[in-house]
Copies of this chain bind each other. A is one copy, B any other.
Amino acid sequence: MAGTVNPDLRKERESSSFDPDKITNFLYGGPEIVKRKRELESLALNDPDYDHEDLNFMSNEQQYETQLKKGILMTKKVQKLNLTDAMDILFYRSAVSSDATAFGLHVSMFMPTLHGQATQEQKDKWLKLAENYVILGTYAQTEMGHGTFLRGLETTATYDPQTQEFVINTPTITAYKWWPGQLGKTTNYCVLMAQLYIHGKSHGPHPFMVQIRSLQDHKPLPGVTIGDIGPKFGYNSVDNGFLAFNNVRIPRENMLMKYSKVEPDGTYVKPPSTKLAYGTMVLIRANIVLNSGRALAKAVTIATRYSCVRRQSEMKPGQPEPQVLDYVTQQYKLFPYLAAAYAFWLTGQTMMSVYMTSSSQISKGDISVLPELHALSAGLKALSSWVANVGMEECRLACGGHGYSHASGLPRHYANMTPGATYEGENTVMMLQTARYLMKSYNQSLQGEKLAGSVAYLSGVQPVPAAGRTRNMLDLGALCDAFRHRAARLVHEAAMQLRNERQAGKDQPDAWNAASVDLVKAAMAHSQYFVVKNFAERLTDSRLDSSISAVLTRLCQLHALHGLVTNSGDFLEDGYLTGADIRQARRHINALMAKLRPDAVALVDAFDFPDGILNSILGRYDGNVYQHLLEWAKASPLNKTDVHQSYHKYLKPFLEANRAKL
């Protein structure tokens, strides 16, 4: 069977309306990048030095060891291959393992923080050691009792001018550092966020460079308590850790002093702006949007391919069981998430490029663009990770029973993606940050200020159109208008709600809290509008080949229409759309799904995930699902022997005693 593609999948590919490579090029930014991506992926996937073991067959401890070994090997290989470009490393690393490997935080947080917040002197001292993996670091911010709210951190760094040292302490159990990746067993250094105290006065959280384990024997240093926080839903190859300090002294020079400073005598020097850190946040959140799109794309790829291989039930008496994807209900489960995966992928890219453009502006000292960028990225991070959460589980359930097996790859992809709704800012808190910016902008516009950027539309209130007009619900312009109108209306309603609560006698914080459900709703609508508009705008790219622009337009229409009918009340409430519009929208969705059906496999192929990254038997490119499902099961640990050892230990004596009693 090897090498043969399942005939159902082959037929799907033969009958698609376009060449998936064209969309792959569009998604990744051109044929050269795709070529490079594929080279690097196959370099990783075909390297015999890596054992591409199945982590699902291992205990958590074995997973940790396996990924540590792999992380070390990968680090050496990256050096040997002389990969230095960030994109190259990313492509390579994703193919080495779709699970986290060791040193993730070292690379993504520890070193960037040194780059961004250390003085030149400090960089000279530590960066080379970090780059050469002589010291291994992580970023220790979150505490057991304190997450998104940074000012609530309890760990203290108290300056002692006598010795010119900071004294680090963990005053309570809730002050334990909790969650940092690779902290539990792997790293020997960390950037620690702690409340700075000088002469009894608090100056808020600041970053400190702290050694936590001996470079000789890896034992925790005196006064330092470290451990692993225990098993989790996913990420069980990672030693997320806890960390506590008891009067641990570090030199004054270990505070990262690019912005704030503490002089030897204890004089505190404020940073020039507190908004500078926003830039990095925007980048991280843009990444989460892109990764939400990619994670959803993986799940949709698996479920779509499997839905063409799987045949089930009887549609017409006497005829063979149809492919599951021929059921319209199955299309309705998968195609909207297929469209959403494209939508978030493109949104993430746009955010990246906006960030790149503005970061040069920011580095020149112009931070005027930051508040808007920050607000936008917060909402989009929340929206995309929420939708990916729900969508990936929908894809899993759409695979029936086999979706529940780790052979599908879906439980693991989901468990590894779902923390994105919590880390880097809890989603509801994020939406409320966006809402705060929307309220500010709305009030400015009421005072006659002209708004720019993503909130410009709040300036002009659109009238509700007169009854009786007909509307083409497939027109992307009309759909964008509808989403814009809804967002503007919900921002207005939230502002009214806020005003009413104030007028009813609540103070500002209580009014904000009372209106917060409406505020989240407004921020959600604003974010959805941005995603729909961005999708539509990307389709105006004149370089787009007509064969792919047709199918991408269908996806964009489906994305907008599905958002519209699942939130139809928002559009009906003030009469902007009518019941007839919504019914028209539903019929269009059915028609679009029928048109997308023959292109579904090509559309997921275009995401270009090799099997070694999908890690799914159900989603195999060749569609040979069932024989591999059986082989996989046979290889699982419980099948090492026909009769499990527990039979002799427990079952046999039980059965024999029962027989004897009869």
Contacts and interface: CB of A to CB of B under 8 A. Distances in A.
Nearest to A426: B400
A232 B215 CA distance: 40
B643 A219 contact: yes
A620 to B, nearest CB: 15
B148 A654 contact: no
A590 interface: yes
Contact of A218 (B75, B134, B152, B651): B651
Interface in A376-396: 389-390, 393, 396
B655 A215 contact: yes
Given A582-B573, A636-B231, A638-B228, A173 B419 contact: no
Interface stretch (A8-16, A25-33, A194-202, A325-333): A325-333
A419 B567 CA distance: 28
A426 B518 CA distance: 35
A229 B632 CA distance: 8
B639 A228 contact: yes
Nearest to A242: B633
Interface stretch (A54-62, A92-100, A296-304, A532-540): A54-62
B233 A650 contact: no
Given A517-B590, A626-B144, A638 B582 contact: no
A405 interface: yes
Nearest to A405: B232
A217 B643 contact: yes
Contacts of A242: 630, 633
Contacts of A327: 513, 516
Nearest to A62: B59
B144 A662 contact: no
Nearest to A521: B586
Q: Which 9 A-B pairs have the closest CB atoms?
A: A568-B569, A230-B636, A233-B411, A59-B59, A228-B638, A569-B569, A573-B579, A572-B572, A149-B313
26 contacts: A59-B637, A64-B638, A64-B646, A65-B646, A68-B646, A68-B650, A132-B662, A133-B654, A146-B312, A220-B642, A227-B634, A228-B638, A232-B404, A232-B405, A242-B630, A315-B510, A316-B509, A397-B421, A403-B422, A404-B419, A411-B415, A514-B590, A517-B589, A568-B572, A569-B571, A569-B572
Given A148-B400, A173-B627, A329-B516, 9 more contacts: A56-B230, A75-B654, A128-B662, A186-B651, A218-B652, A220-B642, A315-B509, A568-B569, A568-B570
